[in-house]
Structure 1
Amino acid sequence: MMTRQKQFEKYLADPTHRIYPVVDFDSTTDRLCPLDFTSNNIELNMQILSSTETFGDWVSAKLADSGCRYGIGGYDEHRTIYSRSTHFDTDLEPRRLHLGVDIWGPAGNPVYNFMDAEVHSFKNNDHFGDYGGTIILKYQMDELVVYGLYGHLSLASLDGLSVGKAIAGGTAFAVFGAPAENGNWPPHLHFQLIFDLQGRTGDYPGVCQFSQKATWLYNGADPNLVLQHTFNSTDVNRD
């Protein structure tokens, strides 16, 4: 029997299924800057991370210095940056493994739906370090159901939504939120794909305990497989 991951990959590989860009990007002029939030990045210390404004200035400087429109990265990344918030602490082991891809850019940047979907749920997850404005869309890929979680959105992005509302592929349906409404992060989009929401609405963990990595990754798909229709791998600036 084909696994859900293989079903997902097969669906995306079918050229009759159109996959739309998630953000505006012109591959002839725009560039991407990979951002590393693991312990390997010794430049990003707690003095920077302790202030959302300072952290945001650091991200903005990285994009400006590299001439890039967006920063990107994070899937299956063991990150140190979550130590800035108790939201990711647990009694046994802190949550540090990132389950989505982050696209870093300015507040107000539009977010597009990558294919036809309906609204599953939405919520303002307003703890420090959480998602802030969050929308979960439900995608039907032949027999496979996949949920797309879009986090760190503006609160205005939630206006006018209702469960079951249809959102066509290619439609701009949300924007990056400012820190005051996106969980106190520098503006960015958290994009995550999930097979089973396990009864949750408007929320699903985007960071897990490293010891449970295999379980959490098994219940999701690599968002880069969708984002390759937005960005080409050759666009990433690795200088």
Structure 2
Amino acid sequence: MLTEILKAHQPFQPVVLFDPTQDHLYPMDLTAANTALTHDILDDEQRFSDYVTNLLATHHAVFGIGGYGEHRTIYSRSAHFDTGDEPRRFHLGIDIWGPAGTPVYAPMDGRIHSFQFNDNYGDYGATIILKHVLDGVPFHTLYGHLSVADLEGLEVDAPVAAGQIIAHFGPLKENGHWPPHLHFQLIIDMEGKAGDYPGVCRYSERARYLANCPDPNLVLALIA
């Protein structure tokens, strides 16, 4: 139902600003197929960040885009994803890779559902979750890897307007120690969680999570 509602309400306000007539978006591959992304790079957060920066510069891209439904081996860099019998490797959002400080905008009207500094290595870092209602159907948008300063002064249930700046890409030390980027995710049911929701699940649980986390490109419209 939500998928059809989102299609009916397209287009939404952009979450990041760029000129589609001249700015290039580079499709990022963070699966095992990307053999250029070695363990030596992944194990050094600055080298990983430099890798992304240089990749975008080489391809003259303003942002790197991708990740929804992607099975990523890169999460082996953090014990945060290795709890339980099966590690979490299946990505549920779309990542937008770009410079720290890049503004993030609300794609539609909503309210602040929750926010939190998820300060674990490999985690979201500063996180904001908005609640929206379209055609009577509630759902949420999650914004991860933000600047900690963006959490200051926030209040649960405060209104947010479409096109309003809500955050910025956070630097390495504030965003879970990842190259600067935004993790954007759609979530229907928060399952009682606040300030956090899995952006990566176990492969064996992908069907359940994909049903609760529709394709973010329905809002972003960044991938043709």
TM-score strictly above 0.5: yes
Aligned to 1:4: none
Tell me which residue corresponds to 1:9.
3
**In 2, distance between residues paired with 1:18 and 1:225?**
9
In the TM superposition, residue 142 of structure 1 has moved relative to its aligned partner by 1.5
Query: How many angstroms does 1:18 deviate by?
Result: 5.5
Structure 1 distance, partners of 2:208, 2:223, is 29
Give the distance between the partners of 2:134 and 2:213, measured in 1 at CA: 14
1:207 aligns with 2:214: no
Q: Which moves more between the two structures, 128-137 or 139-148?
A: 139-148
- Number of corresponding residues: 224
1:22 aligned residue (15, 20, 23): 15
1:232 to partner: Cα distance: 6.0
CA contact (8 A) 1:27 1:232 kept: no
State the shift of 1:10 in Å: 2.5
Segments of 5+ residues of structure 1 without an aligned counterpart are: 1-6, 234-239
**Counterparts of 1:232 and 1:101 in 2: how far apart (Å)?**
10
Partners of 2:25 and 2:114 in 1: CA distance: 30
Contact 2:217 2:223 in 1 (8 A): no
Verify: 1:83 aligned to 2:76, yes or no: yes
Q: Quick check: 1:72–1:103 contact (8 Å CA) kept in 2?
A: yes
Query: Counterparts of 1:213 and 1:119 in 2: how far apart (Å)?
Result: 27
Q: Would you say the 8 A contact 1:150–1:190 is kept in 2?
A: yes
Equivalent residue number for residue 166 of structure 2: 173
Q: Which runs of 4+ in 1 moved over 4 A?
A: none
Identity of aligned residues (%): 54
Gaps of 5+ in 2: none
TM-score by length of 2: 0.97
* RMSD over equivalenced CA pairs, Å: 1.1
Partner amino acid, structure 2, of 1:9? T
Matched position secondary structure for 1:77: coil
CA contact (8 A) 1:107 1:177 kept: yes
Give the 3-state SS of the residue equivalent to 1:27 in structure 2.
Answer: coil
Q: Within 2, Cα distance between the matches of 1:37 and 1:110?
A: 24
Q: Provide the rounded CA distance (Å) in 2 between the counterparts of 1:221 and 1:12.
A: 10
